[in-house]
């Protein structure tokens, strides 16, 4: 069964900020509403300051994730994302993106 969710951000290029809210690594990461309160606060802070999205950092100051999505970059032709050991939500989307390049990246470049 397929339910189209639409776009999370209503823009082709997001204007992002680093949130003052830190990513909570001390709590278990699961899709439970109460665990997303920090993400909601980070998103609210970003929008109130004129940004589209917030980038959250770990308590050590490393990039963790956006307020509502994983973060992926291509650096020197390699796909990079924060490690699961940082406590980020490891789910279907992250797994799909991390495995997609193995079969598709070379043919799309």
Mean pLDDT is lowest, of 8-12, 27-31, 33-37, for 27-31
The neighbour count for residue 56, using CB atoms within 10 Å, is 24
| Active site amino acids | 31
pLDDT, one tens digit per residue, over 75-85 is 888 888 998 88
pLDDT, one tens digit per residue, over 34-47 is 667 888 999 999 99
DSSP result, 62-89: -EEEESSS---EEETTEEE---GGGT--
Q: Are strands 16-22 and 53-57 parallel, antiparallel or unpaired?
A: parallel
């Amino acid at each position: 069964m397929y339910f189209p969710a639409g776009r999370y951000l209503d823009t082709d290029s997001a204007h992002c900020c680093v949130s003052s809210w830190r990513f909570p690594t001390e709590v278990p990461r699961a899709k439970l509403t109460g665990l997303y309160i920090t993400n909601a606060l980070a998103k609210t802070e970003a929008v109130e300051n004129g940004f589209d999205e917030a980038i959250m950092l770990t308590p050590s100051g490393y990039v963790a994730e956006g307020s509502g999505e994983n973060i992926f970059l291509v650096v020197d032709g390699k796909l990079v994302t924060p490690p699961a050991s940082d406590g980020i939500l490891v789910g279907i989307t992250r797994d799909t993106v991390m495995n997609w390049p193995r079969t598709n990246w070379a043919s799309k470049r």
